[in-house]
Amino acid sequence: MNCFCTGLRGKNEAAEITLGSNSKAKPKKPSATSFSFRELASAARGFKEVNLIGEGGFGKVYKGRLSTGQLVAIKQLRLDGETHQGNREFVTEVLMLSLLHHSNLVKLCGYCTHGDQRLLVYEYMPMGSLEQLLEEKKPLSWKTRLKIAVGAARGLQYLHCSANPPVIYRDLKSANILLDNNLHPKLSDFGLAKLGPVGDNTHVSTRVMGTYGYCAPEYAMSGKLTIKSDIYSFGVVLLELITGRKAMDVTRKQREQSLVAWSRPYMSDRRKVSLIVDPLLEGNYPLRCLHNAIAITAMCLQDQPNLRPSIGDIVVALEYLASEGVSDVSRQPPRQSHSQSDTD
């Protein structure tokens, strides 16, 4: 499934990315710092297990504290031992991430190249990922969910509309939406998806699993990637926020494993829509707002890419809902939870 992971852009393209004239942000010079391995090892207390905060397809992530006192997340990339597969992408990644700046993108503080070691140093996001929050069943109000959706959409809008050429995220999923203490969302890993999985089977399977439930059908079938593939993935994230369910959950019975497939019949029937809403919300959401959020989600999830809305339109629509939702939260009459309603 290399189509998920290999780069579509040219080798040195990061150096050619500019910020369009419609961008409010001024183009900045690359800002990431080069750290020594010793500095980062000391920051992460020797990369001990106790500092490990996560592990993804590309390697382990450690919490660390720099000598300045700043908390950081240090991602230690796994490179293929013999071919050093991934090094070129690492360099491109550092250049690209240091050129793109937005309050809804995780900041790259620096990097380290030391022998076979390739490390990326990001600002630390204390609340972890949206995936974790949903998995741990943390109480997230309707208003907070909309706020997270708006922030993630703004980050994606920046990638699609302000960078020239547009940056296609390729790996938009709740695990890549990180949150600060105020639950302000930031997109992460928006370039790392280019790192190839060659020579690392675990890596491949993690990537495929991680991407499967979010992948636009045309991308899965042909590997043809456009910014509209990101819109589909964004629709899946919206659906996760609304239902509290994972995009792909193999622990559920067969027909409920794919969130999109399971939700479709409910989304197209206004009378049934509230049956898929996260039971943790306990009916605390404005019904009209829910219907509108579902309508946006359904548009993002259309099979034909050209029918999906642009991220600019999505931002406007979600911002409107978020401003409405604040003043209009009312308790819905208790309904059957989706698991009850769905038993055969």
Ligand X SMILES: Nc1ncnc2c1ncn2[C@@H]1O[C@H](COP(=O)(O)OP(=O)(O)OP(=O)(O)O)[C@@H](O)[C@H]1O
Binding-site residue numbers for ATP are: 75
Query: What is the 3-state composition of the chain as percent helix, strand, coil, each rounded to the nearest 5?
Result: 45, 15, 40
In our burial notation (b when 16+ CB lie closer than 10 A, e otherwise), range 112-127 reads beeeeebbbbbbbbeb
The answer to whether residue 258 forms part of the interface with Mg ion (CB under 5 A) is no
Residues forming the annotated binding site?
Answer: 75
Tell me the two tokens of residue 44.
């992460």
For residue 121, the cross-strand partners are: 74, 110
The conformation of residue 159, written as its DSSP 8-state character, comes to I
Nearer of residues 60 and 308 to Mg ion, judged by Cβ: 60
Phi, psi of 80 (to 5 degrees): -70, 125
Instruction: Give me the residue whose beta carbon is nearest to Mg ion.
Output: 189
Distance CA 265, CA 209 (A): 24
3-state secondary structure of 246: coil
Residue 342 is a catalytic residue: no
Site map for Mg ion, 29-68, x if CB under 5 A?
A: ---------------------------x------------
Q: By CB under 6 A, is residue 171 in contact with ligand X?
A: yes
206 is a site residue for ligand X (CB under 6 A) = yes
Considering the complex, state which of residue 233 and residue 243 has its C-beta at the smaller distance from ligand X. 233
92 binds ligand X (CB under 6 A): no
Contact status: 53 vs ligand X (CB under 6 A): yes
Query: Does residue number 58 form part of the binding site for ligand X (CB under 6 A)?
Result: yes
Q: Residue 157 is encoded by which pair of tokens?
A: 């809008």
**C-alpha distances out from residue 292 to 34, 56, 287, Å:** 46, 34, 9
In whole angstroms, how close is the CB of 25 to ligand X at the nearest point? 21
Binds 210: which of Mg ion, ligand X, none (CB < 5-8 Å by kind)? ligand X
Residues that bind ligand X (CB under 6 A): 53-58, 61, 73, 75, 106, 122, 124-125, 128-129, 132, 171, 175-176, 178, 188-189, 206-207, 210
Residues that bind Mg ion (CB under 5 A): 56, 176, 189
Which residues are catalytically annotated?
A: 171
